[in-house]
Structure 1
């Protein structure tokens, strides 16, 4: 990784320019708010340059990967832009990983340094030590276990003057996929793809303005929070109001207290907001709209949000490998609930025959198949995984692994991941369709539908449900509700009431974890049916 050459000055670009340019143009505007701390654009860039000086003195330069294990606080942005300004490669680490998992990310990425927030050292330091990688801390009151503080190193170092230019195809980030099968893979994001993504989001996708206050509760180690909130927000000259630890009540309080203009979230966040506002009624004054991604948002949730918050949610779609946004219900046009909108500017999203692995055979409008994407937003492959890269990138298209349709107007609908489809008695059942129905029940706050093995039917349809607070709904009542609205082969025979659902790093519900733990410590309802 460290062998990438310094740019020769031709065709240069850098993600670090996002902060540098906004600092030059909006020096005194507030870039970040975290609790009682406010940081202006000029101060944030100066701090990033000071951090960069310290990192430079420790060998960070063009093409050098640096792992970052920092939660949603201002130091994430400082370190992120410091590494990028040196021409280095940012390797964000999921804040809930254990030492063994952190070791894997550091080793696989080739990270030569870990910058770790003090509260995360109990897992971060052993992981880095096992990988043989030095550690710098941030947010420590004093040196911890002899580990140097980046703040101290920055105070002693000469700040860099400006950022190092990079080639468009140079690697800017290595983001690790959730690894639902096998080990997580490092997706290589380029400077061009990340910068162009931000520009397209601002010019023709979102309505994000200078001076807007945007909700910063999405984890910044994930592509959604990193690109759509942090980078797009700073490129626009907005203020990102960060929430280090998400709860529905804390998010609602932040939205009200800071008059947040735009809420960015995944479906589980919107469901938590709805619970919070039921407990503490009253519409926030400043909210203009919400943006949702990460997984499908039930239409019933969109309707409830409109009723209680008085604004629309605009839903889109993307993946780590697409930087991330590929399609969106573009702000300025009336959203079509239940869809993920149309392809963003300069990007194509089509439907391909899923069973053909070595070529892309496009299907006509309305037919169900695999979503495939091509355009300026694509990553350049998986680190050290040529076979996985060749499997994912076919004929210039990225195979998403998601099943869906595209209508004559170009609007896309997601059914499910190819691996999540349930086959009961030979019939295909798409979990999202069942989730949409159960979400319409007034006592359902969150629901996940998945298949479990069955010796007679092949698979049986199961649902894990979180009920709204105070609800006395039974699993039998939920089963009857679904049975009355779904065909006999689609309604769930097995329903569990749970107090929480397992979530991945981006807030997605982990259905494979639910499948593995189905029936443990939960009230189960087993209804009869053919």
Structure 2
């Protein structure tokens, strides 16, 4: 049923800001000659146009639409335009192949593919082969600084009359497909309630103010960039600078140019800034949120020393709308911890029998609360494996919780290395590796070994300075021998130019295994 604002929807969060501050900036592309700044009034107008395009395509509320776009204002215009029409967005990686998109179309039953012109070829072909509608996203050009009040074709929207399809909190808003570490990717069903709860929780976590300016280079098709950055920023009525391609030098420039106060990203982004960005200042920066993967304590210390702002690590998954735990901005931040449960969430650690373990003991991390997904799309059995009847989601991550309620992620259950009967947690070894001068990035994996079952294997990249040039396998072996128990020492040490990374910047350890020789270094 269509209604006038404020209908329960994600678009509703934009409406009050379009009324209160129509000419203020809502979305920005990076600084430069081609920069586009979208005001709140224009954002609402463009969202309405996208909504109308979906209606003209004959899509009914509840139907699915595949959205392919980089981290640009156009992504959010189309995402909210689908929301205003009552559609479910299937967000796809812009690097997806025709085959991968064909799978998403078949699995989700989507009736339309919408793609940014820069990444439209595979989507157009997949749509044609599947026999579904396809359209490209109109690009947003810069507007004149002082547009004419009676400019034809660009009327100012009336926020009080914007027509939005209202929904219930349990209605599906997005299908975000997991990486598919085992089997084919599964669509995590995120509801309106999940996404709005995440936005409200994030605003509380960072103590969002009316003076904040946000920024991120995270992909918006990924839950971290969408649910923990873009939607909270829009809900708070604050501008967000979006980086479609991660460039550490451009990023450091934007910190000062846009007076950025809140940034979010993954550890590899912060490492790239430390390794290759020029000296720059961030006078307004007050909060750096890191997630997606474990961040080494040494990287935190170096980043904080440079920018004089706290790096707070959090923990969440696609299935929990990016949230779970978070270290407090004010209060004790424990190095190596991903913080305490946030908002109304509950977190516990269980053993193999599903029973809670005492503080300090390692077990599987489970989460319950308003951000936990509805389930996996059309996969009741897979849903039942991870989601209990009383709402507890089994993450597949190993962790321990201390007496103060701080969670420490030990590793992915599937990444655990079994070496001669001993459990080796890759993250513990990686923390030591990052302390070695000359190490830029590090990943530890287990490779097959006839004698020990698995061998501890380190794959490293070097820094571009004298320390990196001097770094050798012998140096690494000696340093780890001095700082780790014998069974944790890497016996295979490989150097590569770059570590393989996923779309969010997370290091892909599975890809490393195909290139690392299964033999111990002498």
TM-score (norm 2): 0.91
Following superposition of structure 1 onto structure 2, how do residues 50-65 of structure 1 map, counting pairs within 5 Å? 50-65=49-64
Aligned to 2:241: 241
Aligned to 1:393: 387
Change (3 A) 1:407 1:12: farther
Aligned to 1:170: 171
Contact residue 217 and residue 243 of structure 1 kept, 8 A: yes
CA offset at residue 332 of structure 1? 2.1
How many residues end up aligned between the 2 structures?
499
Return 88-97 or 132-141, whichever deviates more: 132-141
CA offset at residue 405 of structure 1? 0.3
Aligned to 1:180: 181
Q: How far, CA to CA, are the matches of 1:287 and 1:415 in structure 2?
A: 30
1:6-43 residue CA offsets vs partner (Å, 9 max, x unmatched): 4899x972122122233233322210011411111111
1:302 to 294, 300, 303: 300
Following superposition of structure 1 onto structure 2, how do residues 121-132 of structure 1 map, counting pairs within 5 Å? 121-132=120-131
Return 438-447 or 26-35, whichever deviates more: 26-35
Aligned to 1:371: 365
Q: How far, CA to CA, are the matches of 1:479 and 1:527 in structure 2?
A: 10
> 1:317 is paired with a residue of what secondary structure?
strand
> 1:226 is paired with a residue of what secondary structure?
helix
Q: How far, CA to CA, are the matches of 1:67 and 1:496 in structure 2?
A: 40
Aligned to 1:461: 456
Instruction: Give yes or no for the alignment of 1:264 onto 2:259.
Output: no
Give unmatched runs, 5+ long, in structure 2: 141-152
Return 106-115 or 132-141, whichever deviates more: 132-141
Following superposition of structure 1 onto structure 2, how do residues 210-359 of structure 1 map, counting pairs within 5 Å? 210-277=210-277, 280-353=278-351, 355-356=352-353
Return 342-351 or 13-22, whichever deviates more: 13-22
Aligned to 1:144: none
2:376 to 362, 382, 386: 382
Contact residue 494 and residue 527 of structure 1 kept, 8 A: yes
Change (3 A) 1:117 1:346: same
Contact residue 319 and residue 372 of structure 2 kept, 8 A: yes
Following superposition of structure 1 onto structure 2, how do residues 22-101 of structure 1 map, counting pairs within 5 Å? 22-35=17-30, 36-101=35-100
1:377-426 residue CA offsets vs partner (Å, 9 max, x unmatched): 11100001111000010242000000000111100000111000000001
Contact residue 283 and residue 310 of structure 1 kept, 8 A: no
> 1:447 is paired with a residue of what secondary structure?
strand
Contact residue 444 and residue 467 of structure 1 kept, 8 A: yes
Return 33-42 or 423-432, whichever deviates more: 33-42
Aligned to 2:501: 503
> 1:167 is paired with a residue of what secondary structure?
coil
Q: How far, CA to CA, are the matches of 1:347 and 1:50 in structure 2?
A: 37
Aligned to 1:475: 473
Aligned to 1:199: 200
Contact residue 170 and residue 191 of structure 1 kept, 8 A: yes
Contact residue 253 and residue 280 of structure 2 kept, 8 A: no
Q: How far, CA to CA, are the matches of 1:489 and 1:409 in structure 2?
A: 30
RMSD over aligned CA atoms reads 2.3
CA offset at residue 249 of structure 1? 2.1
Q: How far, CA to CA, are the matches of 1:22 and 1:186 in structure 2?
A: 32
Q: How far, CA to CA, are the matches of 2:102 and 2:424 in structure 1?
A: 39
Q: How far, CA to CA, are the matches of 2:114 and 2:76 in structure 1?
A: 12
CA offset at residue 222 of structure 1? 0.4
Q: How far, CA to CA, are the matches of 1:371 and 1:95 in structure 2?
A: 31
Q: How far, CA to CA, are the matches of 1:24 and 1:495 in structure 2?
A: 59
Change (3 A) 1:140 1:259: closer
1:340-367 residue CA offsets vs partner (Å, 9 max, x unmatched): 00000111010011x23xxx32112111
Contact residue 178 and residue 504 of structure 1 kept, 8 A: no
> 1:163 is paired with a residue of what secondary structure?
strand
Q: How far, CA to CA, are the matches of 2:2 and 2:327 in structure 1?
A: 38
Aligned to 2:413: 418
Return 472-481 or 226-235, whichever deviates more: 472-481
Return 280-289 or 378-387, whichever deviates more: 280-289
Contact residue 12 and residue 168 of structure 1 kept, 8 A: no
1:158-183 residue CA offsets vs partner (Å, 9 max, x unmatched): 99932111011100000000111110
Contact residue 82 and residue 88 of structure 2 kept, 8 A: yes
Following superposition of structure 1 onto structure 2, how do residues 5-20 of structure 1 map, counting pairs within 5 Å? 6=1, 13-20=8-15
> 2:428 is paired with a residue of what secondary structure?
helix
CA offset at residue 525 of structure 1? 9.7
CA offset at residue 331 of structure 1? 2.1
TM-score (norm 1): 0.90
Change (3 A) 1:318 1:7: farther
Q: How far, CA to CA, are the matches of 1:295 and 1:281 in structure 2?
A: 26
